[in-house]
Amino acid sequence: MECTGIVAEKFCIQLNYNDTMSNELMIPNHFCSKYSSLLTEFMELKLVTIGDAGWRFVVARADGDGINDEIHPLVAFVERCGFALPMQIKYVLSNGKKFVGSYDSENSKFSGLSSMLEILGEAALYGVHHFVFTFDGTLMVLISAFDSELNEILFPGTPMSKDANGSCPVVWKCFKIKVEAKHMFDDCYVIEILDDFMRLAEVWKNFQCINIYSGSCCWRLLARNREENFCCTIVDGWQKKCDGLGLEIGDICIFQCPIDSCDQFKIRVLNFDA
């Protein structure tokens, strides 16, 4: 199960021999300064390796280069999971935007990546030196961008933002939650989504991870599709989202996702005092 809570920027570290012999690892200053209020003396870090995982590969990019429509992943990547790659691919960017591409198994290449430039525009790609492509085992390929110091670059906007080419996403699913007193307690683990249940139940799994975007921040929530009770519920990640957005009793949270993207939502908050 994926971790819930705030989705922080990633960073990469190329380990040397001394790193492997030590029980300590220096975290980049950029990451520490941005998330200093969330870091504690003892906390768990999720370590993801590239060399032995086989589900990820890296593509280098020089400043000023455009976006190639086609790329050939590393041989090791294809050998590990090429058999599981479908013909149609859905690419997911760090701001929740999705676009469709394809995988040619005969020639071992991904295509359709030029759409990324139409969605983001050239300015958003300034400073990007590396792309990391992560295959989730189904039909999703997540694209992460990193600068020259291997800190992640989060693309601006949300799943519902206007694209650089002027295209505007259409709202597909929408639900709202009014913050009640019981929602503010740490032991409140279930938040009911009563409205629009049927349309969510049609597309959500029994346990569904959803990403919620506001400004440059993203939170991951875990929702449960409770068909027997005719409702969907948020069962994890709610409190951290409340803290991050500074929600108060009476505020109304409106969640919207674009077409064919039921796991990526923009959140809009209507403040009670407004």
CB burial of 177-189 (b: ≥16 within 10 Å; e: otherwise) equals: bebeeebeeeeee
Using one digit for the tens of pLDDT, what is the confidence trace for 118-169?
999 999 999 999 999 999 888 999 999 999 999 999 999 999 999 999 999 9
Provide the Cα torsion 171, 195, 180, 184; round to 10°. Answer: -70
What per-residue confidence (pLDDT) applies to 54?
Answer: 46
Mean pLDDT of the chain: 87
Coil vs helix vs strand at 188: coil
What per-residue confidence (pLDDT) applies to 194?
Answer: 72
Which residues have a Cβ under 8 Å from the Cβ of 226 and sit 6 or more positions away? 232, 233
CATH architecture, domain defined by 171-270? Beta Barrel (2.40)
Q: Which of 119, 113, 132, 199 is nearest to 159 (CA)?
A: 119
Q: Which of 220, 228, 223, 230 is nearest to 190 (CA)?
A: 223
- 229, pLDDT greater than 90: no
Q: Which tokens in the block code for residue 272?
A: 């009670």
> Could you tell me the CA-to-CA distances from 55 to 59, 80, 157, 158 in Å, in that order?
14, 7, 27, 26
Which residues have a Cβ under 8 Å from the Cβ of 49 and sit 6 or more positions away? none
What per-residue confidence (pLDDT) applies to 49?
Answer: 57
**CA 266 – CA 57 distance, rounded (Å):** 29
What per-residue confidence (pLDDT) applies to 187?
Answer: 80
Phi-psi region of 54 (alpha: psi -120 to 50; beta: other; left: phi over 0): left
According to CATH, the topology of domain 9-153 is At1g16640 B3 domain (2.40.330)
Sign of CA dihedral 43, 49, 55, 60: positive
**pTM of the entire predicted model:** 0.86
- Terminal-residue alpha carbon distance, the chain: 38
DSSP run (H or E) holding 178: strand 171-178
**Stretch(es) of the chain classified as CATH 2.40.330.10:** 9-153, 171-270
What average pLDDT does the segment 4-30 reach?
Answer: 82
Q: Which of 59, 54, 31 is nearest to 132 (CA)?
A: 59
What per-residue confidence (pLDDT) applies to 41?
Answer: 74
What share of the chain has pLDDT > 70, as a percent?
92
**CA 139 – CA 56 distance, rounded (Å):** 14
Using one digit for the tens of pLDDT, what is the confidence trace for 171-201?
988 899 999 999 988 888 789 887 665 678 7
CB atoms within 10 A of CB 254: 14
